[in-house]
Structure 1
Amino acid sequence: MADDERSPEDEFREMIRQLFGGAGEIDPEQLSRLSGLEIDPAMMQAVMRQLQDAFSGDGSISWDLTRRQALHIANQDGLAITQGQRADLDQAFALADLWLSEATTISELAKAPQPITRGGWVEATLPVWQELAEPVATSIADALTAALSDQAPEDMQGLVQGAGRIMRTVGGSLFATQLGHVVGSLSKEVVAGGDVGIPLMPDGEAVILPQNFADLGRDLEIPDDQLALYLAARELAHARLFRHARWLRLHVISQVTEYARGIHVDTSALEELASRFDPSEPEELRNAIESGALLPTRSETQVEALRRLENLLATIEGWVDVVTAAATSRLPSAPRIAEAVRRRRAVGGPAEQALGSLVGLELRPRRMREAAAMWQAVTDAVGVAARDSLWDYPDLMPTADDIDDPAALIARLEARARGEEPAPDAFDDALAQLLEAESGSRTDEASGEKGEAPDEDEGDGPAEEDPHPGGRPI
């Protein structure tokens, strides 16, 4: 068929084949002949340029989109840290550090705490956000490719297979952009490095965002110097804990990623979306990703993983809460600030709620009050040093049962302080049985070997008198 005899639909299909087939170039004259489809050639040129950018990728998720979007939002106000803000926060950190050393035996940080901009917070925390979000992003991108393949007619399967990499890139890029939007928005809500609960900042770093601190102070109507001291003490306690318990950071991150890897996209919802998906109008897919509509109801395994994560975060923040309260007991407004911080963490801001929809994960320590009560009871019973020693090794850390009833934990700590052996638990009993069975097996093997040895005294004559009546020493 000659070019002038082909229909606009044939022109459009040929153009898509050229793009997906690897040519990567579209003839502008082809665009001008699409009037029969009522498509604006200028708009189509822009769409094709976007698709060509996707085609040039390798199918992997471009996390640089996350960074650019997050920084664009974080740096919108363009506010730098003033010398006055820096001096005030440095002074607050210095005094809070002294007070904190009276409230905990966990040593101070090696690196001086500092104020940080919203953009600086984004740059510092992006590696952790990427690690947490990657399982979900990959799941959405892969599921989108599979759903499109299932929906395509038989005669278009070859085309869809060739375009699979592009479709995967489109889905991954949309997710990366949405994550950047969430992280950028979150940079306007967090006041300090430990606000979200998970270890976002590198080990041993404590930071406060002056821009957000000023907003929080206006909302609470509390003197800035008292608010700065409280928040500095809380941030330092959080950073000290993760620097002291080197294993804790990996423990938290692994719990989060374990939960995230269990997330699978709702195939039926995605297939319905794929049946009408238009790469030139990705808004519907973007809205589905942002709202969490593609994430199904949590499985039992995920519910259990989330429960463990919530208990872990509550245990961490409960300790931080108790230590901060002890360190800031001199501040008249400390109880009001503490209550405001607890409510803020329990409710979460808009950006944190958006993160829950995007990744399917809520990072809120629902049992922080119970955990704080447990830590306070332990402190009252055995003192600061014995309490803080529970962070020395992972197996010493309080469990969910200890949060429910700290009496058994306190009894173990009191017995250890008296030099007594702790009462064996189920794990100790199982280990003892295993060791006893192994010991019995070795004894049986030794007896068998001894019974097979020849008797040197065997013979026709009388046996010699044994010079060792009690038996020969072994």
Structure 2
Amino acid sequence: MSSNNPFGPFDFEQLKKMLEQLGLGDASQLNLEDLLAQVSRMGQAGGGAMFGMTNADRDPDAAWRTTLAAARQIAAEAGGDPELTPPERAAVVDTERLAQSWLSAVTSFQETGRPARAITRGAWLEETGDGWRAVVEPIINGIAEALQRGAAAGATEETDPLTQMLAPMLRSSASLIYRDRLKRELGRVAGDVLTGTEIGFNLLGSSDVVMIPSNVAAFTRDLDASDNDVVLYLLVREAARQRLFHNVGWLAPQLSALLGHFAREITIDFDALSENFRPENLTELSLEDVIAVGESVRGSFFQPASTDTQVEILERLEVLLALVEGWVSHVSSRATAPWMPNAPQLDEVIHRRRASASPVTSVFKELLGLDLHPRLLRDAKNLWAAVEHHRGPEGRDAVWGHPDLLPVRTDLADPLAFAAQGHEEAREDDLDAELRKLLGN
């Protein structure tokens, strides 16, 4: 029997274990014809959507639109998504103008020239949709590759036909589970995010300073500060972050390239899937049964970063995001110090929010298995303060002129040495070279 398996063989012992976990009985006692017959019956009697192409496989655009629509519904059901009133829109525009005037006094980065906007939760999802899709579709598309990478070379020609039937089943099942998680996480983060780029990445596709008033209202409900002060402080931070992304042309592509590279290195924990995939009656298996597995494997869907490449990418993302947020915090503190006596308290509120397990801070862990810790943020803020002390505001901002000039993790531990010495020499390694290829540089 010749093999034409496009997915690669399973290790036969792993295959037998998986079949038993799927409810097929003692696979070691079944011959190939029996196994093929049982799998075929599964495909004909309710599990057919898992064999071959799903709707998402046939029309990825339609699948993405469905995912976003489901996320919008989840966000709306969690707390409503009221239409914005003209006064709410005008308040964001007017407050942002004040925030920009304060920022212009403390940074050499110019305004984006785009008007500020108040938007709804649903609008935030729509405007970040393409950005999210670019982040997560490599994972969805890579699930089949993860299956193939995880397969051992111990299969024989006899097991290839069975492998060919089972691989699409697991691929489609894992894709369905991930899409279900995706809509839930996007719905949660849309109901939590306060400003357009609070997650640390600019997925908006524009340089607009945007705020989600309904989420801000929920956030300020229990704070011991006036709503106006909180809105102003949040807009100072958002405007600073957008100035940084707008003026540092390589920053957003570098973050996207690192995310894409990390996504390609992801390994799926198929043991976690198979251990939870035990329906009562396989002949009545439904999509709802498959989706339910997603809830039972939350937190264990992705295997932790383990390869040297994954760990290195994770560390670079941590440092780069810490440098972004540290710069935003430092510049925002400098901008508000002369005008807002309670700015230090508001900065502490934001720091605690970033250190908490809110949807905004946990979304990348849930969707990519990317666990970014906030411990470096204070070090990064101190570093930018030290650089400004030694070189002034323009010298501080000039560090963003090229990625090779940026501090590395060891510099965050000794910011005064970095600020005094400059570290202007280029430092490039193999991962830098690969990222340069991805960015077309």
TM value normalised by structure 2 = 0.76
Structure 1 residue identity aligned to 2:400 = W
Of the candidates 169, 172, 177, which is equivalent to residue 172 of structure 2?
Answer: 169
| Preserved contact between residue 144 and residue 171 of structure 1 (Cα < 8 Å) | no
Residues in 2 aligned to 1:427 and 1:166: alpha-carbon distance in whole angstroms: 46
Change (3 A) 1:207 1:173: same
Who is 1:383 aligned against? 392
- Greater relative contact order: 1 or 2 (C-alpha under 8 angstroms, separation 6 or more)? 2
- State which drifts further: 268-277 or 193-202: 268-277
Helix, strand or coil: the match of 1:91? helix
2:290 to 282, 286, 293: 282
Equivalent position of 1:449 in the other structure: none
**Residue 302 of structure 2 corresponds to residue 302 of structure 1:** no
8 A Cα contact 1:74 1:118, kept in partner: yes
Partner of 1:311: 319
* Aligned-residue offset at 1:145: 8.5
Moved more, 164-173 or 105-114: 164-173
Partner of 1:290: helix, strand, or coil?
coil
Q: Max radius of gyration: which structure?
A: 1
Q: Aligned match of 1:326 in 322, 334, 338?
A: 334
Cα-to-partner distance string for 1:143-192 (whole Å, 9 max, x where unaligned): 56899999x9x999647635754553332122112111101110111101
In structure 2, C-alpha distance between the alignment counterparts of 1:318 and 1:202, rounded to whole Å: 23
Partner of 1:180: 183
The CA deviation string for residues 92-151 of structure 1, in whole angstroms up to 9 with x for no partner, is 10111111101111000121121111011111112222222234333445556899999x
Counterpart of 2:392, as a letter, is: G
Q: In 2 relative to 1, CA 272–313 (structure 1 residues): closer, same or farther, beyond 3 Å?
A: same
Amino acid at match of 2:164: Q
User: Alpha carbon RMSD of aligned pairs, Å?
Assistant: 3.7
Match of 1:219 in 2: 222
Within 5 Å, give how 1:42-441 maps onto structure 2.
Answer: 47=46, 55=54, 58=57, 62-76=63-77, 77-143=80-146, 158=161, 161-162=164-165, 164-165=167-168, 167-272=170-275, 278=282, 279-280=285-286, 281-296=289-304, 298-329=306-337, 330-350=339-359, 352-353=361-362, 355-413=364-422
Q: How many corresponding residue pairs? A: 384
> How far off is 1:351 after superposition?
6.0
- State how far apart, in whole Å, the 1-side matches of 2:149 and 2:278 are: 12
- SS of equivalent residue, structure 2 residue 195: coil
* Structure 2 unpaired stretches of 5+: 1-35, 429-441
Structure 1 range deviating more: 300-309 or 345-354: 345-354
Distance 1:149 1:388 in 2: 50
Q: After TM superposition, give the deviation of residue 271 of structure 1 in Å.
A: 5.0
Distance 1:294 1:247 in 2: 29
- Residue aligned with 2:184, SS: helix
Offset at 1:51? 6.2
Structure 1 residues 386, 352: CA separation in 2 closer, same or farther (over 3 Å shift)?
A: closer
Q: Percent identity?
A: 32
C-alpha separation between the residues in 1 aligned to 2:342 and 2:291? 47
Q: CA deviation at 1:352?
A: 4.0
Amino acid at match of 1:138: N
Q: Which runs of 5+ in 1 are unaligned?
A: 1-12, 21-25, 27-43, 414-421, 429-474
Once the two structures are superposed, what CA deviation does each residue of 1:348-390 show, in whole Å capped at 9, x if it has no partner?
3046436413420124442110110111111122211111111
Q: TM-score, normalised by structure 1?
A: 0.71
Decide whether the 8 Å contact of 1:182 with 1:354 is kept in 2: yes
